[in-house]
Amino acid sequence: MAILLIAEHDNQSLKAATLNTLGAARRLEGEIHVLVAGAGCAAAGQAAAQFEGVAKVLLCDAPQYAERGAENLAELVRGLAANYSHVLVPASAEGKNLLPRVAALCGMAQVSDVVGIESADIFVRPIYAGNALATVKSIDPIKFLSIRTTAFEAVGVAGTAVAVETIAAGPELGLCKLVGRELTRSERPELGAAKIIVSGGRGLGSGDNYRRVLEPLADKLGAALGASRAAVDAGFVPNDFQVGQTGKIVAPQLYLAVGISGAIQHLAGMKDSRVIVAINKDPDAPIFQVADYGLVADLFEAAPALTQAI
Amino acid sequence: MKVLVPVKRVLDYNVKVRVRADGSGVDLANVKMGMNPFDEIAVEEAMRLKEAGVVSEVVAVSCGVAASAEVLRTAMAIGADRGILVQSDADLQPLAVARLLKAVCDREGPALVICGKQAIDDDANQTGQMLAALLGWSQATFASKVTIADGQATVVREVDGGLETLAVRLPAVITTDLRLNEPRYATLPNIMKAKKKPLDTLDPAGLGVDVSQRLITLKVVEPAKRSAGILVSDVAQLLEKLKNEAKVI
Ligand SMILES: Cc1cc2nc3c(=O)[nH]c(=O)nc-3n(C[C@H](O)[C@H](O)[C@H](O)COP(=O)(O)OP(=O)(O)OC[C@H]3O[C@@H](n4cnc5c(N)ncnc54)[C@H](O)[C@@H]3O)c2cc1C
Ligand SMILES: Cc1cc2nc3c(=O)[nH]c(=O)nc-3n(C[C@H](O)[C@H](O)[C@H](O)COP(=O)(O)OP(=O)(O)OC[C@H]3O[C@@H](n4cnc5c(N)ncnc54)[C@H](O)[C@@H]3O)c2cc1C
């Protein structure tokens, strides 16, 4: 049977998380169909047809999918799911919002945050803030999987494009309306896709300090900016900067934790980074237990000095 | 208007779990348990709606072992009017919990359910969305601000790129994110009062819900440990290591 992957896109192109999810889908047996649902999303459908491993694109272009609300999308996917052995989404805010709704409509379980695929029905997922890894077997006929994108390589583009099939839209349920979006604008790389992340915690003391100390460092390194929950709660930076168990899960080549103590919940979001650097004035801070390179220093001296030296 | 708040008993967020050596699961014997932090936020939000006169009754529901009654008492100490324990010793997975909660909703007829966005033990982040699906209600997940007026909820949601505002028709399911509010502490008089509030006990069979497992845990292991790193003496040495040893910049 085939595998259905629900693409995340901006009508023009696929979001990076979808490419990692495709990487996960390729570990399963069966052809991969990518659903691109949206309003005015034909370009994204064409884009999806280019990627390695994709056998077919299902394009559903209708006004009820413009806002990407879970209610209408779940109804659409429910109608398609019976033809598939697996339904995959990235474990992003959108995927997390959507997939449990689809699974419940089908009366089946979901496996969240899959980090390993052992066979068609056996999956590995972190529990307890990543302090344990559970191997679970799903006995449902359709496996609904949200994929932790840091655990799978993104696929590249293939030489040729596959067919894009237009499918009929589902109903407009009228349950929910988008009032507005307030998205953080930034020239910097996306947290989830960045090779280097500079992350700041409560130790920065204020939003002004955060910007003054960390932005130049991030600029020099071409890095994305992240933060601990404490820094977000204190209003230093917007919510979408939060790294951790209940924020974003990241695994860059280099993660620089500045003025972050290293609470379990924070570590859950970054401990799979390839190289971790911690700058903290407290030699007993737990962050040093996971850091490859630790510098016990006042961040207000060390971070600008590092920026200068690079 | 009545609000239902599902609250889950989980290990305390400060406890670092130990994985059992035989791979059968994590060791929860003698560890501190309490209410899932996101559910404390949910109870607090329900109380604020009640204090604002939007809500008339707050009912806390927990599904699980008999000891889950403790988190219902906590919810009632924060202010919930009564508690419902759906008692079961089974391993309750999100779909089973959502089905139990749906059955409770069918009996109670709330106009709003406020769940936590995820439970910090299993980290599934599913139950609220599943419940909304089973009820055919709208859903507003990861809420950081909730306003209710004229039969609709206006909810600011935390999404990957920032914030999104939705208007959802009631009845609806809302799930809480961290910045929705800061839960109050239960005062001693309120803890005493909570002991006298009504707590009903139901069971899955009585609600006509099959709670059998759909996911079978084969093993639970500890993730690979990071090998301990080194302390560098200064910025120059740090930069040298990053360039020549780690080769990341
Ligand atoms: C349900 C729940 C979910 C959570 N989810 C998350 C999550 O997803 N992500 C997350 O990050 N947290 C999360 N938390 C919060 C987490 O428990 C910690 O409170 C938080 O990570 C602490 O942030 P911090 O390290 O910035 O602050 P602190 O723990 O206060 O640490 C600040 C650090 O800065 C250092 N410092 C101060 N001044 C200087 C200086 N001048 N120079 C150098 N170092 C300095 C200090 O030594 C200290 O180590 C969650 C908590 C709960 C209960
Ligand atoms: C004794 C025991 C052993 C278990 N062992 C395992 C195991 O080995 N592997 C495994 O995968 N699972 C196990 N579980 C189940 C697991 O702990 C979760 O209860 C279940 O998977 C639900 O996931 P979640 O809580 O992460 O849901 P989420 O979807 O993350 O929860 C979101 C929200 O839903 C509500 N909610 C969730 N559960 C309840 C509840 N019980 N009562 C009231 N409201 C609730 C809360 O508002 C919560 O904030 C076990 C459970 C028990 C009781």
Residue spans per domain, chain B: 2-245
Residue type, position B122, single letter = D
pLDDT at position A186, please?
86
- State whether A213 and A161 are in the same domain: no
- State whether A224 and A160 are in the same domain: no
**A273 close to B (CB below 8 A):** no
CA distance readout (Å), B197 to B49, B59, B78, B88, B201? 20, 11, 12, 22, 13
Kindly report, residue by residue over B185-200, the tens digit of the pLDDT.
999 999 999 999 999 9
Is the previous residue joined to B171 through a cis bond, with omega within 30 degrees of 0? yes
**A108 close to B (CB below 8 A):** yes
- State whether A37 and A130 are in the same domain: yes
Domain span at residue A276 reads: 191-309
Residues in chain B closer than 8 A to A184 (CB atoms):
161-162
CATH number at residue A151: 3.40.50.620
**pLDDT 10s digit of each residue in chain A, 310 long?**
999 999 999 999 999 999 999 999 999 999 999 999 999 999 999 999 999 999 999 999 999 999 999 999 999 999 999 999 999 999 999 999 999 999 999 999 999 999 999 999 999 999 999 999 999 999 999 999 999 999 999 999 998 999 999 999 999 999 999 999 998 888 899 898 899 999 999 999 999 999 999 999 999 999 999 999 999 999 999 999 999 999 999 999 999 999 999 999 999 999 999 999 999 999 999 999 999 999 999 999 999 999 999 9
- State whether A28 and A120 are in the same domain: yes
- State whether A55 and A125 are in the same domain: yes
Q: Are B118 and B130 in contact (CB under 8 A)?
A: no
- State whether A289 and A201 are in the same domain: yes
pLDDT at position B110, please?
98
pLDDT at position B29, please?
87
- State whether A17 and A78 are in the same domain: yes
Tokens matching residue B184 = 């109050």
Residue A128 inside a domain? The answer is yes
Q: Are B164 and B129 in contact (CB under 8 A)?
A: no
Cα-flanking dihedrals φ and ψ of residue B238, to 5°? -60, -50
User: Domain count of chain A?
Assistant: 2
The number of beta carbons lying within 10 Å of the beta carbon of residue B165 is 17
Residue A269 host element (H or E): helix A264-270
Q: What is the mean pLDDT of residues B37-65?
A: 98
Residue A78 Cα to ligand 2 middle (Å): 24
Question: Yes or no: is domain B2-245 CATH 3.40.50.620?
Answer: yes
Residue A113 inside a domain? The answer is yes
Mean pLDDT, chain B, whole residue set: 96
Residue A184 inside a domain? The answer is no
Q: Of A228, A233, A289, A295, which is best to mutate to test ligand 1, by the most ligand atoms within 8 angstroms of its C-beta?
A: A228
Q: Percentage of residues in chain B with pLDDT exceeding 70?
A: 100
Residue B228 pLDDT > 80 = no
Nearest to A268 by CA among A153, A76, A126, A173: A126
Question: Could A101 and B140 be called an inter-chain contact, meaning their C-beta atoms sit closer than 8 Å?
Answer: no
Residue B66 pLDDT > 90 = yes
pLDDT at position A221, please?
97
pLDDT at position B150, please?
92
Residue B14's pLDDT band (cuts 50, 70, 90)? confident
Cα-flanking dihedrals φ and ψ of residue A197, to 5°? -130, 130
∠ Cα A48 A53 A55 (to 5°): 70
Domain boundary among A166, A199, A215: A166
Q: Ligand 2 in contact with B198 (CB < 6 A)?
A: no
Query: How many CA atoms lie less than 13 Å away from A31 in the CB half-sphere?
Result: 8
Q: Are A78 and A92 in contact (CB under 8 A)?
A: no
Measured between alpha carbons, how far is A158 from A49 in angstroms, rounded to an integer? 9
- State whether A255 and A290 are in the same domain: yes
- State whether A98 and A53 are in the same domain: yes
Give the least confident one: A28-32, A117-121, B39-43, B118-122. B118-122
Domain boundary among A166, A181, A213: A166
Tokens matching residue A257 = 């934790």
The ligand minimizing its distance to the Cα of A237 is 1
What string of DSSP letters covers A10-79?
A: -SSSB-HHHHHHHHHHTTSSS-EEEEEEESS-HHHHHHHTTBTTEEEEEEEE-GGGTT--HHHHHHHHHH
- Stated pTM of the model: 0.90
CA distance readout (Å), A3 to A30, A84, A165, A289, B196? 6, 5, 16, 41, 53
- State whether A96 and A220 are in the same domain: no
Residue A171 inside a domain? The answer is no
Q: What is the mean pLDDT of residues B153-181?
A: 96
Residue type, position B186, single letter = A
- State whether A21 and A160 are in the same domain: yes
